[in-house]
Structure 1
Amino acid sequence: MKIGWGKEIKQGKTLSDNQIVSLLLKKRGVKNPVEFLNPVHPKQIRLKDFSPFYEKKLQFCFKLLEEIKEKGEMIIVYSDYDADGITGAAILWETLHFLGFNVMPYVPHRKHEGYGFSKKGIDAIKKQYDPRLMISVDHGITAAEKITYAKKLGISVIVTDHHLKPDMLPKDAFAVFHIPQLSGSAVAYFFAKEIFIRFYKKDSLSHKMLETYFQTDYLALATIGTIADMVPLIGPSRNIAWHGLQAFPFVKRYGLKHILREAGIAGRKITPYEIGFMIAPRINAVGRLEHAMDALRLLCTTQEKKAYELASHIGNTNRERQDLVEQSLKEAKKMVESIGKIIPKLIILVSDHWNEGIIGLVASKITEQYGRPTIVMTQVDGFFKGSARSIPSFHITDFLRDQKKYLVDVGGHKQAAGFTIENARVKEFIKVAQKKADKLISKKDLERKIDVDFKLPLSRLSVSLVEKIQTLEPFGVGNPRPVFYSEGTLVDAKIIGKMKNHLKLFVADLDKKRLPMEFVAFSSADQFFSLKKGEKMKLRYTVEVSTWQDKTSITGKIIHFDQLGEKV
């Protein structure tokens, strides 16, 4: 994979700390630095701020909810089975429950019902609950046909979603709240907050508890959903994540407590890393391999023993998921290697036995390794289910929608999508899709680019600069951690890590005016024996401040390094 520079970089040698931070904000398109660095609390954000039409829609919804509450009719919160959907369902279901509504959550089984509304799911709900209303969480915008079906059965549907709009919107929905710049859980958060404000009673203890939850528990849950779904951390999603991460220490619910315990991060400061790599995968694992209702039960239970048991079970399920991904990924890599030297610009891999719940993870890892959009398909109940992941320059959902004549259904985002296809159409679809992708994707699109923000001598780095950079947190999609480029001299190196697969490098500035700085290069131990003390190196890296035994220091995390061989 070719390494490119990415965007134009700045020379940071002569700039002050504040100038560097100011340029980083400008590069990220921040027009209001004060608001970015001190985001408004989500409690001050209303649905009408996203669209002036939502105020009128809300009034219709409130009227329907008042009627439902008065008659004691049933409401179903129908969510997606991933971390974004489950956290959103917890927020909305609890809000309606504590406000005195007759409400039940419903999470479809991935294998038996599939994503979103299905006739099978709607029929089951009608038979068991006969509800007046269903409210979607993290799905529904592409389900026009299913919503019409529900309406014919006498069930009204309110859609809360953030996925890309299809050509045909659900015209038979009672109301649609579609906010693409938020996660599904965040849309549910703001919708639930509007319901809470409308039905709030000052003399109710449960209502007062809800008021606290919207500033702590629900904000933390919406943050999990936002980061898990890789929503850009800009605009209102930054407001959610910035305040939500700060809310974690105040969350007392047993479910989150025991997820943190099981993940081995209890007591640790929660950052996007802990959510993206420790918390969300555990919530997602249940929906991938079993029934995600257990994840929802875990988040909502008021019994600590139950929370302990469910968290332990979910941890075991996550380990099973990791094993399945590892096995399937080995097979997938062999398939790619068997293609030959010229790998297609769009990789498509097909199996008749991979678990449907993990094909998206396999696609993601293949895309990461080979730098190409990847579609992974597996056979499920007479059809093939597909999951796709893409590179930044290639809109995979739009691409798949252009091939919709081959597909039963399709939905997703710019860099991730899912679809269903009939067995008989798979071969033709692969042929056509790869041919079209070959024309649409350029060689430049396939170059791996490292977007370096500043070129700095190592001696320019300081604790004060890094601490100022950390005011831009939380970092993530849409607000990446700043990347620096420096040249230096290798002083020492050693292999580290439980599996002995990482490197720790000690690199001095070229002028050797300061002590060597520590860098960690993950999964790079295979380069250890080619390293030579005293040789010149080029580093692209991120920086963090860490404190150990009252000593504060800077650590660099290497993204890529070049050995120049020459000694300085």
Structure 2
Amino acid sequence: MEKWFIASKRADFNKIGEIFHISPVTARLMRNRSLTTVEEMQRYLHGSLSDLYDSHLLKDADKGAKIIKEKIETGKKIRIISDYDVDGVSSNYILYQGLKRCGADVDYKIPDRVEDGYGINEHLIEKAAEDRIDTIITCDNGIAAAEQIAYGNSLGLTLIVTDHHDIPFQRQEDGSISYNLPSAAAVINPKQKDCPYPFENICGAVVVYKFIQVLYDLFGIDRRESEAFLEIAAMATVCDVMPLCDENRIIVKEGLRRIQHTNITGLQALIEANHLEEKKISSYHFGFILGPCINASGRLTSAKDALELLLCEDKELCRQKAEALTQLNAERKEMTANGVKAAKEYLESTGHANDKVLVVYLPNCHESIAGIIAGRMKEHYHKPVFVITGTKEGLKGSGRSIEAYHMYKEMNKIKECFDKFGGHPMAAGFSMQEDRLEEFREKLNANATLTEDDFAEKVHIDVALPISYLSESLINEFELLEPFGNENTKPLFAQKDLYIKGMRVLGTTGRCLKLFLSDANGTSIDAMYFGESDGFLEELISFCGKEEAQRIQKGLSHHIWMDVTYYPQVNEWRGQKNIQIVIQNYRFKNL
């Protein structure tokens, strides 16, 4: 069951509209995104690279740059160690290219997801020492590796940490908090409490983008050269689900503006492999098409494949590498679809679908896609979900949560079940022994205080906007709000009491439904629904009966109306333009 809420933030929308030459509707949408001052709105609409914060404000950025400059000038070997996701690969790319530009003797390592796990570890440090590496720079990891960094220090290595994750802490008996920073030569992370950088919610790739700017300043290199990394920093920002506000919004807008004509041969090949060269690339393409191709290598083979694509300058070789990654992502999608199907079958056949916290055991599932499957299950059941897989060492699991359930806190209550665990309110990961599985399920559910109200999906509506108010110019104006993503979601509108004049299923897959709707005043509009058309029709039959549903499908008179949430768009077909809405949520009613 869904609960619909309409935003109620107040402001003088007419006045805001006059200032920025926009409609009051668009002004309301900006206010709904927590913008309050004229300055914030100006930066939101028209922010540019000159509005980005000074890179030198990052704590230890200058210190780290001086260390690296000395290492480069004395010919010392430097190694980059990153994470294996999009942000990790992107960070590694920016650091490697930036250090090379400064004349560094530099190479890179990316941990293997299965063999090494996340981040820097003792094995990677020992290997660096064997290879006579002098300095290790981490990116998108390292802040939680205090023991590993200390071990590297003991071997005589110089270590610099660049990261963006939360600083590990311990709560003392008196309630105070002590932070556990690694003893690196420099720690560059905007989440540090004494870091003066004004915006802490940047991804790992943006942290190193800023660091390279500081290094370029030190070497006397025109920092405008660093703008060549903006497409990669933008993609990492979207794929790491950073909030698309403040300077992240500027970076992503600028990256999207440049990507259509990118000079990164490998990125251009990936765009072509996914048939996007003729399309206007948006944050959607970063998050759901290009990014997943890079992620697929870190999940199924080695993230080194993705990094090598970005670094490659041979067009034909790039084409081959890009097509291989695109194919790998297609395999990952198929594996995910099979995993989702198996997870639903497991929950329904065991009766565990009725639990408050869902624990899914898929022993043969590839551990790298457990988190994706957990996310899909969470969306389907709107409950917290853990998906557990079998490995050589025991069981591994990934969890995804709902707003009402703080996953990491709940796991802390049963820490005896785990060999290792970590996470956040909305996501977590762990390893455990097989004989702990049922205990884990039982204790999680015994502790859970979730109610039916918590399982209701919350739909946040921006504006109750009648379809009669829509125009092509207004819909085009909404493009000012792009790029959409975390904390700058695509606007959601709502209209009550729409009459269904008819409907038909489109396409061979049956996943697209076209409806012909009109309001009480006779304004008509076409509507598209891209969910499961079978599910839509089943709900309709359940609501009004088969006979009435058939009358609706045939366009005959009936008594069924709909409330919908939607996003409007201008559809162009054979040179003709018409306004249509894309339905996100719906509910039937008798009038």
Given that 1:485 and 1:540 are in contact with CA atoms closer than 8 Å, whether structure 2 keeps it comes out as yes
Residue equivalent to 2:366: 355
**What does 1:100-119 correspond to in 2, within 5 Å?**
100-119=103-122
Q: State the one-letter code of the partner of 1:4.
A: K
The alignment's C-alpha RMSD in Å is 2.5
Instruction: Give 1:289 shift.
Output: 0.7
Residue equivalent to 1:205: none
Residue equivalent to 1:135: 137
Classify 1:84/1:411 alpha carbon distance in 2 versus 1 (closer, same or farther; 3 Å): farther
Classify 1:456/1:38 alpha carbon distance in 2 versus 1 (closer, same or farther; 3 Å): same
> How far apart, CA to CA, are the structure 2 residues paired with 1:238 and 1:393?
28
Given that 2:529 and 2:584 are in contact with CA atoms closer than 8 Å, whether structure 1 keeps it comes out as no
* Alpha-carbon displacement from aligned partner over 1:293-328 (angstroms, at most 9, x marks no partner): 000000111111211111111122112212211222
Match of residue 533, structure 2, among 524, 543, 552: 524
Match of residue 49, structure 2, among 30, 34, 41: 41
Residue equivalent to 1:5: 4
Residue equivalent to 1:207: none
> How far apart, CA to CA, are the structure 2 residues paired with 1:20 and 1:253?
39
**Corresponding position: 1:394 with 2:396:** no
Match of residue 195, structure 1, among 209, 215, 226: 215
Classify the secondary structure of the residue corresponding to 1:140.
Answer: coil
Unaligned 5+ segments in structure 2 are 170-178, 191-199, 541-548
> How far apart, CA to CA, are the structure 1 residues paired with 2:416 and 2:220?
48
> How far apart, CA to CA, are the structure 2 residues paired with 1:156 and 1:304?
37
> How far apart, CA to CA, are the structure 1 residues paired with 2:524 and 2:342?
46
Q: State the one-letter code of the partner of 1:488.
A: L
Classify 1:563/1:444 alpha carbon distance in 2 versus 1 (closer, same or farther; 3 Å): closer
**Corresponding position: 1:154 with 2:164:** no
**Corresponding position: 1:335 with 2:346:** yes
Q: State the one-letter code of the partner of 2:532.
A: S
Match of residue 499, structure 2, among 489, 514, 517: 489
Given that 2:51 and 2:247 are in contact with CA atoms closer than 8 Å, whether structure 1 keeps it comes out as no
Count, aligned residues: 546
Given that 1:359 and 1:376 are in contact with CA atoms closer than 8 Å, whether structure 2 keeps it comes out as yes
Classify 1:342/1:263 alpha carbon distance in 2 versus 1 (closer, same or farther; 3 Å): closer
> How far apart, CA to CA, are the structure 1 residues paired with 2:472 and 2:218?
48
Match of residue 224, structure 2, among 195, 211, 214: 211
Residue equivalent to 1:270: 281
> How far apart, CA to CA, are the structure 2 residues paired with 1:365 and 1:10?
31
Classify the secondary structure of the residue corresponding to 1:354.
Answer: coil
Classify the secondary structure of the residue corresponding to 1:353.
Answer: coil
Of residues 457-466 and 514-523 in structure 1, the stretch that sits farther from structure 2 once superposed is: 514-523
> How far apart, CA to CA, are the structure 1 residues paired with 2:535 and 2:359?
30
Of residues 152-161 and 393-402 in structure 1, the stretch that sits farther from structure 2 once superposed is: 393-402
Classify the secondary structure of the residue corresponding to 1:25.
Answer: helix
Given that 2:525 and 2:580 are in contact with CA atoms closer than 8 Å, whether structure 1 keeps it comes out as no
Query: TM-score normalized by structure 2?
Result: 0.86
> How far apart, CA to CA, are the structure 2 residues paired with 1:233 and 1:509?
35
Instruction: Give 1:48 shift.
Output: 4.5
Classify 1:90/1:125 alpha carbon distance in 2 versus 1 (closer, same or farther; 3 Å): same
> How far apart, CA to CA, are the structure 2 residues paired with 1:350 and 1:90?
36
Match of residue 475, structure 1, among 481, 484, 488: 484
* Alpha-carbon displacement from aligned partner over 1:81-138 (angstroms, at most 9, x marks no partner): 11111111111111101211111111111111111112222222322x3222211121
Given that 1:458 and 1:488 are in contact with CA atoms closer than 8 Å, whether structure 2 keeps it comes out as no
**Corresponding position: 1:504 with 2:533:** no
Classify the secondary structure of the residue corresponding to 1:250.
Answer: coil
Of residues 165-174 and 24-33 in structure 1, the stretch that sits farther from structure 2 once superposed is: 165-174
> How far apart, CA to CA, are the structure 2 residues paired with 1:221 and 1:537?
43
Match of residue 30, structure 2, among 25, 29, 32: 25
> How far apart, CA to CA, are the structure 2 residues paired with 1:194 and 1:83?
23
Classify 1:263/1:102 alpha carbon distance in 2 versus 1 (closer, same or farther; 3 Å): same
Residue equivalent to 2:168: 166
Classify the secondary structure of the residue corresponding to 1:464.
Answer: helix
> How far apart, CA to CA, are the structure 1 residues paired with 2:412 and 2:144?
12
Q: State the one-letter code of the partner of 2:501.
A: V
Of residues 399-408 and 297-306 in structure 1, the stretch that sits farther from structure 2 once superposed is: 399-408
Unaligned 5+ segments in structure 1 are 203-209
**Corresponding position: 1:76 with 2:79:** yes
> How far apart, CA to CA, are the structure 2 residues paired with 1:199 and 1:332?
54
Match of residue 89, structure 1, among 92, 97, 104: 92
**Corresponding position: 1:545 with 2:547:** no
**What does 1:232-247 correspond to in 2, within 5 Å?**
232-247=243-258
Match of residue 293, structure 1, among 287, 304, 307: 304
Match of residue 378, structure 1, among 389, 403, 410: 389
Residue equivalent to 1:456: 465
* Percent of aligned pairs with the same amino acid: 28
Classify 1:271/1:194 alpha carbon distance in 2 versus 1 (closer, same or farther; 3 Å): same
* Alpha-carbon displacement from aligned partner over 1:20-54 (angstroms, at most 9, x marks no partner): 222222222113111111123178422345x5xx1
> How far apart, CA to CA, are the structure 2 residues paired with 1:157 and 1:43?
32
Match of residue 321, structure 2, among 310, 327, 350: 310
Classify the secondary structure of the residue corresponding to 1:287.
Answer: helix
Classify 1:155/1:425 alpha carbon distance in 2 versus 1 (closer, same or farther; 3 Å): farther
Instruction: Give 1:523 shift.
Output: 2.2
Classify the secondary structure of the residue corresponding to 1:444.
Answer: helix
Instruction: Give 1:515 shift.
Output: 4.1
Classify 1:405/1:161 alpha carbon distance in 2 versus 1 (closer, same or farther; 3 Å): farther
> How far apart, CA to CA, are the structure 2 residues paired with 1:322 and 1:178?
34
Given that 2:265 and 2:312 are in contact with CA atoms closer than 8 Å, whether structure 1 keeps it comes out as yes
Classify the secondary structure of the residue corresponding to 2:455.
Answer: coil
Classify 1:480/1:172 alpha carbon distance in 2 versus 1 (closer, same or farther; 3 Å): same
Classify the secondary structure of the residue corresponding to 1:451.
Answer: strand
